[in-house]
Amino acid sequence: MTDYLGIIAIAVVVALLAVGGLFLLFRPKGKDLPPPAPPKEAPQPPKDTEGVPRGVSEGEGGVTTTLPPPSAPVEPAVRIPEVEVPPPSAGRMVRLRARLARSQSTLGRGLLELLSRDRLDDDVWDEIEDTLITSDVGVGPTRAMVDELRTKVKVLGSRTPEEVRGLLREQLLTLVGTDLDRTLRVRSHGERPAVVLVVGVNGTGKTTTTGKLARSLVGDGKKVLLGAADTFRAAAADQLHTWGERVGAEVVRKDEGADPASVAFDAVAKGMDDKVDVVIVDTAGRLHTKTGLMDELGKVKRVIEKRATVDEVLLVLDATTGQNGLRQAQVFAEVVDVTGIALTKLDGTAKGGIVVSVQRELGVPVKLVGLGEGPDDLAPFDAEVFVDAILGD
């Protein structure tokens, strides 16, 4: 009996093993299941160039890990304007002389070529005259120069290119004027600042010139304050503000339509309190009526003179507007005592002769010239540099 029981037990075990083996052989492989996601790596600290994670140091006690410092709280962005240090005014015209290229090819080279011809007959002299007139030199000065040239050429006889150039240079310098006082009156009077009044037709570059002049004076080491007395155009005050902000010059302004004279007065008063060297007052140049303009500019000047003196009245004139611009400028010259001319956009015209005619017509020297749109493209006018630039090297 026990034998039978043993055999049955062995058979049961064998059967169980056989079933288990079959199960293992035919179990489902699970190949349709998605692969398990790889375990996620913990974020690693950045490594330095040698592969050592930053914030991890190998000290004597083994590797120590320091947590990165918490990032600083984000501050609201406040724009702090950077104050620029502009270059001084000296030597600017030399730097910008290439900007006179158009006048050089039309006026300078044109005259040199004509005067170098072997035979100078009446036709050639007429051409010389035309060249000067179309370059805006003006009829009177042109005639005077041609007469003078004719005499000198006769005396000279045959001419070398150097002699022709020398002759022309001499004549042009006489026309432009080497002995005119072109000094800008910007020296303060002890406690009182110098006052510059900027006048002229709108659109000539008046506000731009006021801003550029402020920069240039700051570059020369002066403390400057600006008065935005062009109260007809709010944008003019905004423009001045931007110019002033860049070089650390304060701007006195009022609401659009305010009395320009009161802005000028406040600007001068603040300039005295702040002990600035120069106050520059930008005025509106509406050409409504001559009497209106006279009243407005007259009042501005009178009001300033309650506290200070107007040292310089700078008339801004756009060189590209030629004789037409000159006629408009004349109205200003009749209304205020202009002491100097700022001739803008001289880089944009072939008619460099305007320098000659504007001085003749208005009886005032060109003191500043605009030779580009850049902030430092306003230069003290230098007759020799000008003539050499238009004649070329």
Token duo for residue 16:
């169980």
Q: Name which position in 206, 246, 301, 351 contacts ligand GTP (CB under 6 A).
A: 206
Do 196 and 314 contact (CB within 8 A), yes or no? Answer: yes
Look at residue 290 and give its three-state secondary structure: helix
- Our CB check for ligand GTP shows the closer of 277 and 347 to be 347
Do 227 and 301 contact (CB within 8 A), yes or no? Answer: no
Q: Is 106 in the site for ligand GTP (CB under 6 A)?
A: no
What are the residue ranges of helices labelled H in 159-233? 161-176, 206-219
d(CA 279, CA 184): 13
Cα end-to-end span (Å), the chain: 136
Token duo for residue 28:
């489902």
Number of residues that bind ligand GTP (CB under 6 A): 18
d(CA 343, CA 370): 6
64 is in an annotated binding site: no
Q: Is 103 in the site for ligand GTP (CB under 6 A)?
A: no
Q: Is 203 in the site for ligand GTP (CB under 6 A)?
A: yes
Tell me the closest approach of the beta carbon of residue 377 to ligand GTP, in angstroms.
Answer: 6
CB atoms within 10 A of CB 371: 26
Kindly identify the residues of this chain, within the stretch 221-280, that bind ligand GTP according to CB under 6 A: 236, 239
Q: Could you say which DSSP state residue 107 is in? A: I
205 is in an annotated binding site: yes
Tell me the closest approach of the beta carbon of residue 280 to ligand GTP, in angstroms.
Answer: 13
Find the part of the chain contacting ligand GTP (CB under 6 A) among 46-54, 135-143, 201-209, 324-332: 201-209
Tell me the closest approach of the beta carbon of residue 274 to ligand GTP, in angstroms.
Answer: 25
Kindly identify the residues of this chain, within the stretch 358-387, that bind ligand GTP according to CB under 6 A: 370-373, 377
Site residues for ligand GTP per CB under 6 A: 202-208, 236, 239, 344-345, 347-348, 370-373, 377
Q: Which residues are annotated as a binding site for GTP?
A: 200-207, 282-286, 344-347
